[in-house]
Amino acid sequence: MMSALPPHPFDAAGPRPPFGAYLAQLRLRRGWSQLRLAEQLCAASGSSTVTRHEVSRWEREERLPADFWLGWLAAVLDAPADGLAAAAERSRVRHRLVAPPGRAGPGRRETRDRVGLDLLGLAHTWLTSDETALIGPAPVAPSGAARPERPSVAEVTARLVAARRLDDVIGGADLAATVHGLAAAAAHATTSPPGTTPTRKAARLRAEVAQLRGWTLGDAGDAVGALSAYRTALGAAAVAGDRPLAGHVLGSASHLLAGSGDPAPALLLARTAYAGSRRALSASGRALLLHRIAFAAASAGLRGAAEAALTAAQRATERRAAEHDPPWLYWLDDGEFDALAGRCLAALGRSARALPLLSRAAARSGQPRTAALDQAWLAHARLGAGEADGALLAASGALLDTIRSGSTRALDVLTTFGDRLAPHARLPAARDYADLLVAARPYLPRPVRDERSAGDRVAGDD
């Protein structure tokens, strides 16, 4: 009789690896080669269909064994069958949800619906699973062609801080190339050798860069690219074990969807973000996610849910302390919270309550992109309050700042404002605004088309 082997750390509570790593550890514990394991499987099962190459594919997770072979693996390796089955299921979920864009099947093209569903599925897994460190494959060091000199994590972090400051000033269309290069640098700086897990610091950096890339692409009008970047960011934040950052990523994706006509999935993402990260968030972070919930609910016409979230956001705002906030919330201040609440109230049609908040926000000495958004939402609120002339004045200022910043997000808000102007078309101010719009049209930012394939985007989005 074969002597009992000592317990393996993967057999007990503790690290729960993906299937490939688990199988390799069990095989090496016995001192077997892949060929020896294949021979043992064939002898025990009476089937000669397993070869050394098939065992290699299992360990690399190019394939995963079916239940038949999982049972025989447990038998010949003297391993718990439920442990092997659970590891295989973890790997199936991971590969299904975070398969690199464009590589999930022959000829696959990313679409807004496809990548949005992927993100919703990954968000659900992140919320309900204790295995957050296993979500998202680690970047693997490429072989073959020579690559540029590897930047340090500190260098990429400094570039990230600078890019965030640029995002305060210019729109996504102008910033896209800079952030594209930053994403490639982050992927290069944090690449792990084969068979190793990236450090939490490296994974967190990838997540922060991907979140900024999603925000930038959203401002450039590329919803597919933005959602794909957010999917990458969520996987990296999960690897880092950073629930506040993961919640922020989902909140950013929710804001994109709510502002572009998809309030139902936006609300689901925002609620998932809050449920999964609220215990770890600072008061400012909780307030921000509650505002994301409120805006999505308002966009969906759910007044009660929006008002409840706004009330909770106000309570969280009153408790906030900037020294407790992570660095990626540097932009949240009193003026920004006024803007967030005012926009939500304007979307609800509560113009009287929105006006003082948006007026204070618009009075900030902000940069062109922030000013464009503040003025555009103020125009909505003034129009809803019956102040058509004041609304058109604010819209004119927003239009000029939209040109200066290149923000398609501000242009979207102005477009919906224009749709509401028909009853006021005879006003002199409306004719002046129409003339300004015609003159400005050649200079307005042009959204990036969503139909681009994933192959057109940075390789770091996987």
Alpha-carbon span 210 to 184, nearest angstrom: 10
Is the separation of the CB atoms in 245 and 197 below 8 Å?
A: no
The predicted pLDDT at position 313 comes to: 96
pLDDT at 246 over 90: yes
| Mean pLDDT for all residues in the chain | 82
Is the separation of the CB atoms in 266 and 230 below 8 Å?
A: no
What percentage of the chain has pLDDT greater than the value 70? 82
Q: Which residue has the higher pLDDT, 437 or 192?
A: 437
Q: What is the mean pLDDT of residues 101-113?
A: 53
Low-confidence winner among 193-202, 225-234, 277-286, 373-382 (lowest mean pLDDT): 193-202
Structure tokens at 170: 């210019």
Domain 1-97 has CATH 1.10.260.40: yes
> CB-based burial of residue 267 (10 Å sphere; 0-12 exposed, 13-18 middle, 19+ buried)?
buried
> CB-based burial of residue 192 (10 Å sphere; 0-12 exposed, 13-18 middle, 19+ buried)?
middle
pLDDT at 280 over 90: yes
> CB-based burial of residue 266 (10 Å sphere; 0-12 exposed, 13-18 middle, 19+ buried)?
buried
Task: List Cβ neighbours of 322 (8 Å cut-off, separation of 6 or more).
Answer: 284
Question: How far is CA 52 from each of CA 38, 56, 85, 359, rounded to the nearest angstrom?
Answer: 6, 6, 21, 70
pLDDT at 132 over 50: no
The predicted pLDDT at position 3 comes to: 40
Ramachandran angles phi, psi of 370, nearest 5°: -65, -45
Q: CATH 1.10.260.40 occupies which residues in the chain?
A: 1-97
pLDDT at 391 over 90: yes
Q: Hey, which residues does 140 pair with through a beta bridge?
A: 192
pLDDT at 432 over 90: yes
Q: Which helix H or strand E contains 367, and what residues bound it?
A: none
The model's confidence at residue 459, banded by pLDDT at 50, 70 and 90, is very low
| Rounded (5°) CA angle 443-448-453 | 160
Structure tokens at 79: 């391993």
> CB-based burial of residue 125 (10 Å sphere; 0-12 exposed, 13-18 middle, 19+ buried)?
buried
Is the separation of the CB atoms in 403 and 443 below 8 Å?
A: yes
| Rounded (5°) CA angle 265-249-184 | 120
The model's confidence at residue 11, banded by pLDDT at 50, 70 and 90, is very low
The predicted pLDDT at position 449 comes to: 53
pLDDT at 111 over 80: no
Q: Which residue has the higher pLDDT, 259 or 448?
A: 259
What number of other Cβ atoms are within 10 A of residue 101's Cβ? 25
Q: Which helix H or strand E contains 15, and what residues bound it?
A: none
Low-confidence winner among 195-199, 216-220, 308-312, 429-433 (lowest mean pLDDT): 195-199
Structure tokens at 424: 């006021």
pLDDT at 13 over 90: no
The predicted pLDDT at position 20 comes to: 82
- Taking only the tens place, the pLDDT of each residue in 61-78 is 888 898 889 999 999 999
**Tokens 């950096």 -> residue:** 205
The predicted pLDDT at position 453 comes to: 35
Low-confidence winner among 33-47, 109-123, 128-142, 185-199 (lowest mean pLDDT): 128-142
- Taking only the tens place, the pLDDT of each residue in 187-216 is 888 876 655 567 888 889 999 999 999 999
Q: Which residue has the higher pLDDT, 364 or 246?
A: 246
User: What does 78-122 look like in DSSP terms, one character per residue?
Assistant: T--HHHHHHHHHHHHHHHHHSPPTT-SSTT----HHHHHHHHHHH
pLDDT at 96 over 50: yes
Q: What is the mean pLDDT of residues 233-241?
A: 89
Q: Which residue has the higher pLDDT, 143 or 258?
A: 258
What percentage of the chain has pLDDT greater than the value 90? 46
* Encoded amino acid at 29, one letter: R
Q: Which residue has the higher pLDDT, 241 or 150?
A: 241
pLDDT at 164 over 70: yes
- Taking only the tens place, the pLDDT of each residue in 18-32 is 788 788 888 888 889
The predicted pLDDT at position 133 comes to: 46
Alpha-carbon span 353 to 363, nearest angstrom: 17
170: Cα separation from own chain's centroid: 21
Output DSSP code: residue 311.
Answer: H
Q: What is the mean pLDDT of residues 83-100?
A: 69
Low-confidence winner among 103-117, 248-262, 302-316 (lowest mean pLDDT): 103-117
Alpha-carbon span 57 to 47, nearest angstrom: 18
pLDDT at 445 over 90: no
Structure tokens at 72: 């025989």
User: What does 27-41 look like in DSSP terms, one character per residue?
Assistant: HHHTT--HHHHHHHH
pLDDT at 339 over 90: yes
pLDDT at 110 over 70: no
Ramachandran angles phi, psi of 140, nearest 5°: -110, 140
134: Cα separation from own chain's centroid: 17
Is the separation of the CB atoms in 179 and 164 below 8 Å?
A: no
Q: Domain 150-456 in CATH: superfamily?
A: Tetratricopeptide repeat domain (1.25.40.10)
Structure tokens at 29: 């514990």
Q: CATH 1.25.40.10 occupies which residues in the chain?
A: 150-456
Cα dihedral across residues 365, 367, 370, 374: positive or negative: positive
Q: What is the mean pLDDT of residues 54-60?
A: 88
Ramachandran angles phi, psi of 276, nearest 5°: -85, -15
Instruction: For the full predicted model, state whether its pTM sits above 0.95.
Output: no
pLDDT at 380 over 70: yes
pLDDT at 450 over 60: no
Picking from 450, 369, 359, 451, the residue whose alpha carbon sits closest to that of residue 413 is: 369
The predicted pLDDT at position 108 comes to: 47
